[in-house]
Structure 1
Amino acid sequence: MRDVFDGSDPIVNRAIEIMGGHEAFKNALDADNAAMKSRWNQDTAAIGRILRAHLYVEHYLTEHLQQVNPRLGDLDEARLTFAHKVQLLDGNGPPAITYLIAGIKRLNKVRNNLAHSLAATVSDGDTATFLSCLSRFSNMNGKNPTEDPLDVLERFAEFAASTLHSSSSTFGKAYAQAIEEGCQPAIT
């Protein structure tokens, strides 16, 4: 491979000239390469955790929407975005689902920020939204959210997916029927 600075390429020579010489050209090239490396060298574990949480919730969001309205057809074939699926929840469903909408939207925002900035971050505002949604439910399966934002995001995603899945699970249907029949949950 030839050296770009060997003087044999007229385009490179002209670019060097336009940029003010070899030193400026090399500095700009080094800065660009460093910026690209920093974007490549992201925290892949954090990225994976965010993407897994988003995909997990989307799976059960799709399942829920198809269960409560089978006339929608195949949502995968319709190529609806995550945001469109959340809009289909519309806030008129069971309170447990309605309370989760803000957190589900926030999860999508975190994933979108990752896609557009390549930075795997969960802000304090994101964490507060997830905790607010979770705090509406008295029984958190004995788990207390930690202060680690990614842990809170994952706990929210697991809970949201479980709540969405309950519309199609055998247990969830039996539980809903018991409520419709007038049974009240035990207070612990």
Structure 2
Amino acid sequence: MHIPPHDNDRIVRRAMELMGGHDAFFKAADEELADVNGRWNQNVAEIGRILRAHLFVEHYLTQYVAQANPRLGSLTEARATFAQKVALLDAVNPDIATMLPGIKRLNAIRNRLAHNLGTQVSEDDARIFLGCERFSALRAARSTEESQTNDPLEILEDFARHTAVSFTYEFTPLSKAIAQSIMEAQLGGAAI
């Protein structure tokens, strides 16, 4: 509905009357604008890092589920959510099982962010990621070579990279060669 320009002045005057006058109107307008600006002026670098980690893990999660289940069909066309893709993981596989709490926590953080733009990664979140024993051991081993912080957001990002590598590892030529070598060694096959 188009409002003729000459009616806008009348609309604003009437709104001021309804709010109790000029001062009350602009006080309410300033408060609403401050609320909007407060939500807008978030730490976009931190939000971006959380979202990047989530999108990154989801990319490799989608690839993994598709490769592990080649007859499944398109997860994209099915519009499967992150949580639905996680539910398709083999929780019996110890490599997957140890990462599941961290993967689910990453999704929970992203969901918290969707409902509260001021969400931060907490120490409790970091403990969940570090509960993945292989990730924690690799991170500790790496700390002897390079300095690491205990910043929860950095731990989240490290966990996201670890998860991506873990999801891709099973299907790479390198992993297949290593698996075959292990199998041959166990069966007394080709000399190592």
How many angstroms does 1:139 deviate by? 3.0
Match of 2:137 in 1: 138
Aligned to 2:70: 70
Contact 2:16–2:22 (Cα < 8 Å) also in 1: yes
Question: CA shift at 1:168, angstroms?
Answer: 1.5
1:109 matches 2:108 = yes
Of 148, 170, 175 in structure 1, the residue corresponding to residue 173 of structure 2 is 170
Q: How does 1:152-171 map to 2 (within 5 A)?
A: 152-171=155-174
Q: Equivalents in 2 of 1:175, 1:134: separation in Å?
A: 22
Secondary structure of 1:121's partner?
A: coil
Could you state the TM-score of these two structures normalised by the residue count of structure 1? 0.83
* 1:28 Cα deviation from its structure 2 partner: 1.0
Structure 2 gap ranges (5+): 1-6, 187-192
Cα drift, residue 120 of structure 1? 4.2
Distance 2:17 2:118 in 1: 35
CA distance in 1, matches of 2:170, 2:62: 11
Corresponding residue number in structure 2 for 1:48: 48
Sequence identity percentage: 50
d(CA) in 1 for partners of 2:139, 2:180? 22
CA RMSD of aligned residues (A): 2.3
Q: Is there any run of 5+ residues in structure 1 with no aligned partner, and where?
A: 1-6, 184-188
- Tell me the amino acid that sits aligned with residue 142 of structure 1: A
Say if 1:63 and 1:168, in contact at 8 Å, map to a contact too.
no
Q: Would you say the 8 A contact 2:64–2:167 is kept in 1?
A: yes
CA distance in 2, matches of 1:55, 1:101: 16
1:3 maps to none
The separation in 2 between residues aligned to 1:83 and 1:8, in whole angstroms, is 48
Q: Contact conserved, 1:106 with 1:129, CA < 8 A, in 2? A: yes
- After superposition, give the CA deviation of every residue in 1:87-111 in whole Å (9 maximum; x if it has no partner): 111412x211111011001101111
Q: Residue in 2 aligned with 1:84? A: 84
How many equivalent pairs are there?
A: 176
* One-letter amino acid of the structure 1 residue matched with residue 88 of structure 2: L
Taking a change above 3 Å as real, the CA distance of residues 34 and 108 of structure 1, as seen in their structure-2 partners, is same
Output the amino acid matched with 1:14: R
CA distance change for structure 1 residues 27 and 167 in 2, over 3 Å: closer, same or farther? same
Aligned-partner Cα distance in 2 for 1:112–1:118:
10
